[in-house]
Amino acid sequence: MSVTENIQQPNPSVAMVGTEAETMMRHAAAAHRAGRLTEAVAIYGRLLQRFPFNAELHNNIGVALRGMGRFDAAIAHYRRSLTVDPGNAAHHSNLGNALRSINRCEEALQHHFRAVALAETYVEGFFNLGLTLRDMGRLEEAQGCFQRALQLAPDHARAKVEIAATKLMRGDFAAGFAEYEERKRLPDHPQPEFREPAWAGEDLNGKRLLIYPEQGLSDALQFARYVPALRGRGARVVGLVQPLLRDVLRLSGLFDEIVPEGDPLPGFDYHASMLSLPALLGVEGSAVPAPYLKAPERSRIRLGTQARTRLKVGIFWAAMPGQPLDRNRSCPLGEFLALADSPEVLLFSLQGGAAQKDIEQIGAAGLVHDAGRGIFDFAEAATVLTQLDLLITIDAPIAHLAGAMGLPAWVLLPHTADWRWMVNRADSPWYPSLRLFRQPTAGDWRSVMAQVRTSLGALLSGAM
């Protein structure tokens, strides 16, 4: 799950002299609200040439630049806005958001605290402060901030969602999943447009239930474990899944029917998000433990070996482009080369997409063997995993696949990890075969890889 932030929207009523400037400001605000950020930034920039000391303009262009991922420029504009208007709580909060985006949480915290000190009833200020505190591992304080936002605005859906996510991070699954259903009320969380009703616990005997992943490939891999419980209630379960998952889920035998996205749907009586199944069925006692997925018996890919090889290790380093957490989850391939100095370890890349080019670009072709180019879906990935002794991967769907198959994998996590991996633990209750390695501070992959290298040495020596 990607965390959410509420930030001040551009204000089209900035006081400016001259109808031309006012018209430009209205156009900029309209483009901003419509998501045309490049256009908005261009207009804000022209206005700033005429009004260089206007705090609202600096704030608004900062909001747009941050939305484009141009964090350094956004931070500079926010700081300029605060030199003009140092008592503006919203501008302090916006600066805190931008600093948090580049893992400068200590600095972000100062501005978020300043925001709520300036405006004690500033709902979004408390909400954003909670997000930063949670990034820093201060879960109790974060929960208090979300609760304060909720006291000030009892219908604040985002605060309810983040309270639920924080409970999930702490391992309070029963309450967390139940409250996490609040996410369906968020404006950026559109519901599927089915004529059939959503399943809310009705009798399923003799009914056909369509279930679908909500937050990507990992949803289906993680929560397919609940399908047997649905079938145990007499339902015929149809899985609407991404084409990449079609064969591996069909092979599992968990579903009655698998339909790839884009294909015609069969008739059904109810539908449900896979992510809602723990809340609907109960977290414990209703899920099949791992392993519950398996590989096809035959594979087009056969991993080779070398004379001194003792461990075949797969690696995966780059998250899918465009994902909200990509910036923090991905680890540079160069960091993995710390594992390549032993001739007893043979490294195989399982990486897909544009990041496959990293092997050639950093000169690692003689150290990392590219198996990823032959992997076209998760069934094929599963056959490769069965030929490895170990997978070392970032937080990516391949980690969930290995865990669901009960295969050994080491998962490298950013300092602020997704709620699925919880906090302060090196194991996962979802996948007993996985081991978790966490950044001690934001962005510190070097320390993570040093831990991995030590553990790999212990594995080679037989100490593990």
Which domain-ending residue is among 241, 260, 281? 281
SS3 68: coil
Q: Are residues 317 and 418 in the same domain?
A: yes
Q: Are residues 432 and 386 in the same domain?
A: yes
Residue 1 included in any domain: no
Q: Are residues 178 and 103 in the same domain?
A: yes
Distance, CA of 135 to chain centre: 13
Residue 409 included in any domain: yes
pLDDT at position 2 is 33
Token code pair at residue 371: 């198996």
pLDDT at position 45 is 95
Residue 292 included in any domain: no
Residue pair 369/356 in contact by the 8 Å Cβ criterion: no
Question: Cis bond leading into 197, ω under 30°?
Answer: no
Q: Are residues 257 and 398 in the same domain?
A: no
pLDDT at position 446 is 97
Q: Which helix (H) or strand (E) holds 141?
A: helix 139-152
Residue 196 included in any domain: no
pLDDT at position 18 is 57
Cα distance between residue 378 and residue 224, in whole Å = 14
Give residue 394's domain range: 311-461
Is the C-alpha dihedral spanning 56, 59, 64, 65 positive or negative?
positive
Residue entry with tokens 């806005």: 81
Q: Which of 117, 121, 115 is nearest to 96 (CA)?
A: 115
Residue 195 included in any domain: no
Distances (CA, A) of 119 to 36, 90, 153, 378, 451: 31, 9, 15, 50, 44
Residue pair 223/280 in contact by the 8 Å Cβ criterion: no
Cα distance between residue 387 and residue 312, in whole Å = 8
Residue 299 included in any domain: no
pLDDT at position 322 is 63
**Statement: the pTM of the whole predicted model exceeds 0.95:** no
Q: Which of 436, 452, 372, 377 is nearest to 403 (CA)?
A: 436
Which domain-ending residue is among 237, 264, 281? 281
Which domain-ending residue is among 240, 264, 281? 281
Q: Are residues 320 and 424 in the same domain?
A: yes
User: DSSP code of 423?
Assistant: S
How confident is the prediction along the chain (464 residues), in pLDDT tens digits per residue? 333 333 344 444 445 555 788 889 889 989 999 999 999 999 999 999 999 999 999 999 999 999 999 999 999 999 999 999 999 999 999 999 999 999 999 999 999 999 999 999 999 999 999 999 999 999 999 999 999 999 999 999 999 999 999 999 999 999 999 999 999 999 888 888 899 999 999 999 999 999 999 989 999 999 999 999 999 999 999 999 999 999 999 999 999 999 999 999 999 999 999 999 999 999 887 899 999 999 999 888 999 999 999 999 999 999 987 655 567 899 999 999 999 999 999 999 999 999 999 999 999 999 999 999 999 999 999 999 999 999 999 999 999 999 999 999 999 999 999 999 999 999 999 999 999 999 999 999 999 999 999 999 999 988 66
Find all residues with CB under 8 Å of 181, minimum gap 6, and list them: 276, 279
pLDDT at position 440 is 95
Q: Are residues 37 and 161 in the same domain?
A: yes
> Structural domain tally of the chain?
3
Residue 11 included in any domain: no
pLDDT at position 325 is 58
pLDDT at position 326 is 67
Q: Are residues 41 and 170 in the same domain?
A: yes
